[in-house]
């Protein structure tokens, strides 16, 4: 038997259970089974006598015998145990006792399965959070384990299960048995996956020890060592794979060599109305070094909203121009492209570099002229939406492609930009994002890109005071906006637009707009409105009115989320704030606090706000640090759900390590992987043969995402 053997050959498994395990847990081979780790351990030494259970304990484990089981309908009436229809049951109450006292266990879901299982007289181990309800101690939806799972050692693993598995006879006990025989079968001949020197230098326990202890720990210490070894290995191999990819590319991918800074750069730099922040200077230096190196640049620039990424894009573009190449900046929306165009034109005015704007709405004649200018090289910098990746757009010599708000673009769109190189050489690529990605996640998602971070705000940025209020404060909110307008300020009012119910969303927006117009009547007040159903002209007209200060209030959908800059605006009201994600809320808030003395973000929450949404809103009120919010968001929701990363396409399937919790191990693993690759970039040395072999496995086959991100 080895790790590739099908689990159906394990004693007691057979084809039927094997199929069940594959469809329910994706476990096909003995190796899959051994890499399915317990998500929790029952510590037999920590059974709490019921008399010592208090509601303020976080979680307890009691060992108790079922005394009485009762089922209740929705209206509270007790249901007779005979003639039972489970779909009528709203709640199941179980009284269980040990020799010190009684406790109630309550189930609202999965009642059928529990009812059949929790027969009076049988004993179980219940695990959960104790609470008090009507003066009675209870645990709602405890985990239930048969006490005979307590056969091996003090700590006993609890595995993910499903109703189907349980019904198919694959109980926790059977799972442990299968794993036990799998271990016996493979451990004697198990090949160690990490080289000896890695185990030694990193103080890791051998694989066979780790696998045995993770499933059947002899004590807490052995378990910690086993878990550390497996987490390290998983993250280390992933980083090794990503970084190796990067090495291969940086040695093979020829890049356009841009040795000069150029005159345009210097002129622009000198005429800037402000000093660059230290972070901006550092990032520009990193980019310059990449562009000078002769290797193709693939850099991700992360910077919180308002950190000044545009300036970095402008100066980088001028490096390309100064070396006889062209640059383009692609923005996700028309509004944003226009704003970039306005800003960039202003910055470039003293340099004489020609800037053009190309979007889906550029007229035929203008388009023809721009195309000509791109081909003869007279257009230095092209700004646009995805219109600029169309095949008809041909550059004379594209040297740099900047992609703003990269998560808004699809993989294919980015690939097409990449293909517009010069003489068969890809342009340098700079992708910018204001969606702060936690460091650990960035290391994994973009592990093969270089990452620059602007971690410093331009001076003068004022903190934004954030509050969360309900409907009863709507009047006060209007009054507050009136006060701000009286001070000469402006306000944003944003409505959610969630495509599942577009009609309703627009209705909300329209009603909201009417309400605002009523509360802020002409001619004293002027209210502009921007949303996705307007023509580009209408949109531009309204945006301009607000940007130029002709309108006091801008009512909009989230089209203003990215980029838009109106320093005079001091209030951001977000309607139905609970419907937005954390990082989206943060982006919206970033629209204010750019100029006014004091700025405010008012989160209007609806009637029904889930616990989780409440937590999100509270967090937003508590901090303005985008990275902190992203870290917290990831902890709350898990990395797979993180906004802006679903689209990135890199599936992260880690079986034991957690990007949210194992950041330190990840950093260590990455640094160590780097060290090994510095000495042996191709992993061709005999001592690294085990690593090369591991990287050939599917799990660590990382596609070259840098080419498309
Ligand atoms: P983002 O990173 O969100 O794209 P922007 O590039 O739009 O940020 O910059 C936000 C605002 O800060 C703009 O008004 C810009 O002119 C201003 N800004 C950028 N860099 C600096 C700086 N070093 N000092 C002062 N203001 C700056
Ligand atoms: Mg921006």
pLDDT tens, residue by residue, 395-441: 999 999 999 976 666 656 767 777 787 878 889 999 898 877 777 77
pLDDT per residue as tens digits for the range 630-639: 777 777 766 5
Pocket test for ligand 1, best of 283, 311, 430 (most atoms within 8 A of CB): 311
Checking if the pLDDT of 579 tops 90, the result is no
Helix (H) and strand (E) counts in the chain: 23, 23
Q: By percentage, how much of the chain surpasses pLDDT 70?
A: 90
DSSP secondary structure of 212-246: HHHHS-SSHHHHHHHHHHHHHHHHHHHHHHHHHHH
Q: d(Cα 88, Cα 74) in Å, to the nearest integer?
A: 7
Q: How far is the CA of 627 from the centre of ligand 1 (A)?
A: 18
State how far the Cα of 608 lies from the Cα of 606, in Å rounded to an integer. 6
User: How much distance in Å is there from the Cα of 483 to the middle of ligand 2?
Assistant: 29
Asked if the model's pLDDT at residue 119 lies above 70, the reply is yes
Average pLDDT over residues 512-518: 93
d(CA 154, CA 151): 8
Two structure tokens written together for 7: 């689990």
> Of the given ranges (262-276, 565-579, 651-665), which has the lowest mean pLDDT?
651-665
Q: How many residues does the chain have?
A: 709
Q: Model's pTM, two decimal places? A: 0.65
What's the pLDDT band for 650 if we cut at 50, 70, 90?
A: very low
Does the pLDDT value for residue 643 go beyond 80? no
- Provide the pLDDT confidence category of residue 57 given band limits of 50, 70 and 90: confident
pLDDT (average), residues 97-105: 94
**CA nearest neighbour of 642 among 448, 374, 445:** 445
Q: Is the pLDDT of residue 483 over 80?
A: yes
Which tokens go with 169?
């006879």
pLDDT in tens, 136-180: 889 999 988 877 654 445 788 888 888 888 888 887 778 988 999
Structural domains for the chain: 1-44+151-190 (1.10.150), 46-149 (2.40.50.140), 263-292+308-433 (3.40.50.300), 465-623 (3.40.50.300)
Using only C-alpha atoms, the chain has a radius of gyration, in whole angstroms, of 30
- Is a pLDDT exceeding 70 seen at residue 563? no
Q: What does the pLDDT average to over 541-561?
A: 86
* DSSP calls for 375-425: HTT---EEEESGGGGSTT---SSEEEEEESSGGGS-HHHHHHHHT--BTTB
Residue with CA at minimum distance from ligand 1 atom 26: 458
What is the strand order of the sheet 450-454 is part of? 355-358, 381-384, 326-330, 398-403, 428-433, 298-303, 450-454
Residue 43 pLDDT more than 70? yes
Residue 342 CA to ligand 2 center (angstroms) comes to 13
Return the residue matching tokens 């979680």.
Answer: 59
C-alpha span between 599 and 481 (Å, rounded): 11
Cα(179) to centroid of ligand 2, in Å? 52
The mean pLDDT of 337-345, rounded to a whole number, is 92
In percent, how much of the chain has pLDDT > 90? Answer: 51
- Least reliable range by pLDDT among 13-27, 370-384, 485-499, 695-709: 695-709
Arithmetic mean of pLDDT over the chain = 87
pLDDT at 626: 82
Per-residue pLDDT at 645 exceeds 70? no
Q: DSSP string covering 481-536, please?
A: HHHHHHTT-EEEEE----GGGHHHHHHHHHHHHHHHHHHS-TTT--EEEE-TTS-H
pLDDT given for residue 507 in this prediction? 77
pLDDT band at residue 646, thresholds of 50, 70 and 90? very low
Instruction: Examine the pLDDT at 647 and tell me if it is beyond 50.
Output: no
Distance (Å, whole) CA 147 – CA 63: 8
**Tokens coding 669:** 């693993």
Q: Mind giving me the DSSP string for 656-688? A: S--TTT-HHHHHHHHHHHHHHHHH-TT--SGGG
Question: What is the CB < 6 Å shell around ligand 1?
Answer: 274-277, 280, 303, 305-311, 434, 458, 563, 565, 594
For residue 599, the 8-state DSSP code is E
What is the Cα–Cα distance from 574 to 570, expressed in whole angstroms?
13
Instruction: Give the closest ligand to the alpha carbon of residue 562.
Output: 2
Average of per-residue pLDDT across 225-232: 97
Cis ω for the linkage preceding 523 (within 30 of 0): yes
């Amino acid at each position: 038997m080895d790790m590739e053997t099908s689990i159906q050959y394990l004693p007691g498994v057979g084809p039927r259970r094997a199929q069940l395990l594959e469809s329910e847990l994706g476990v096909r081979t003995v190796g899959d089974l051994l890499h399915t780790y317990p998500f929790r351990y029952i510590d037999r030494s920590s059974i709490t006598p019921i008399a010592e259970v208090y509601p303020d304990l976080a979680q307890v484990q009691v060992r108790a015998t079922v005394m009485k089981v009762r089922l209740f309908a929705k209206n509270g009436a007790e249901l007779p145990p005979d003639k039972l229809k489970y779909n009528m049951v709203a709640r199941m109450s179980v009284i269980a006792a040990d020799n010190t006292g009684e406790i109630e266990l309550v189930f609202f879901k999965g009642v059928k399965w529990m009812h059949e299982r929790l027969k009076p007289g049988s004993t179980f181990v219940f695990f959960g959070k104790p609470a008090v309800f009507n003066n009675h101690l209870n645990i709602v939806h405890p985990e239930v384990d048969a006490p005979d799972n307590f056969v091996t050692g003090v700590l006993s693993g609890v595995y993910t299960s499903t109703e189907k598995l349980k019904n198919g006879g694959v109980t926790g006990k059977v799972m442990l048995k299968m794993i036990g025989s799998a271990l016996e079968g493979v451990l004697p001949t198990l090949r160690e996956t990490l080289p000896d020197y890695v185990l030694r230098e990193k103080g890791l326990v051998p694989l066979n020890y780790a696998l045995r202890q993770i499933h059947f720990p002899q004590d807490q210490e052995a378990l910690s060592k086993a878990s550390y070894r497996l987490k390290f290995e998983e993250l280390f191999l992933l980083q090794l794979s990503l970084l190796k990819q990067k090495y291969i590319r940086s040695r093979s991918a020829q890049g356009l060599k841009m040795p000069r800074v150029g005159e345009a750069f210097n002129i622009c730099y000198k005429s800037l109305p402000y000093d660059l922040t230290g972070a901006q200077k550092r990032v520009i230096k990193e980019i310059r070094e990449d562009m000078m190196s002769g290797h193709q640049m693939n850099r991700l620039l992360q910077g919180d909203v308002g950190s000044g990424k545009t300036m970095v894009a402008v100066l980088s573009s001028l490096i390309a121009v100064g070396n006889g190449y062209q640059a383009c900046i692609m923005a996700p929306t028309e509004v944003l492209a226009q704003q970039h165009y306005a800003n960039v034109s202003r910055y470039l005015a003293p340099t004489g570099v020609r800037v053009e704007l190309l979007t889906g709405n550029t007229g035929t004649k203008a388009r023809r002229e721009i195309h000509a200018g791109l081909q003869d090289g007279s257009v230095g910098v092209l700004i646009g939406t995805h219109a600029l990746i169309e095949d008809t757009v041909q550059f004379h010599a594209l040297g740099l492609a900047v992609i703003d708000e990269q998560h808004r673009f699809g993989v294919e769109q980015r690939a097409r930009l990449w293909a517009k190189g010069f003489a068969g050489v890809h342009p340098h690529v700079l992708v910018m994002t204001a969606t702060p990605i936690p460091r650990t996640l960035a290391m994994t998602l973009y592990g093969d890109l270089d990452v620059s971070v602007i971690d410093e705000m331009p001076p003068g940025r004022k903190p934004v005071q954030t509050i969360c209020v309900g409907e009863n404060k709507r009047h006060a909110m209007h009054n507050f906006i009136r006060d701000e307008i009286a001070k000469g300020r402006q306000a944003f009012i944003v409505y959610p637009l969630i495509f599942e119910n577009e009609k309703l969303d627009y209705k909300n927006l329209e009603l909201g707009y009417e309400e605002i117009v009523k509360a802020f009547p002409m001619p004293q007040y002027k209210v502009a409105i921007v949303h996705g159903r307007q023509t580009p002209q209408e949109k531009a007209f309204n945006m301009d009115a607000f940007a130029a200060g002709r309108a006091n209030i801008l009512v909009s959908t989230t089209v203003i989320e990215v980029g838009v800059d109106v320093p005079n605006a001091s209030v951001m009201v977000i309607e139905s704030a609970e419907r937005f994600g954390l990082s989206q809320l943060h982006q919206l808030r970033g629209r204010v606090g750019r100029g006014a003395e004091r700025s405010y973000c008012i989160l209007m929450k609806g009637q029904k706000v889930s616990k989780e949404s409440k937590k999100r809103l509270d967090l937003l009120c508590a901090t303005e640090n985008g990275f902190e919010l992203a870290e917290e968001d990831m902890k709350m929701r898990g990395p797979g759900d993180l906004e802006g990363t679903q689209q990135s396409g890199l599936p992260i399937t880690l079986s034991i390590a957690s990007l949210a919790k194992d950041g330190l191990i990840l950093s260590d693993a990455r640094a160590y992987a780097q060290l090994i690759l510095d000495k042996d970039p191709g992993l061709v040395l005999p001592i690294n043969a085990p690593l090369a072999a591991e990287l050939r496995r599917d799990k660590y086959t990382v596609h070259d995402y840098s080419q498309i991100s």
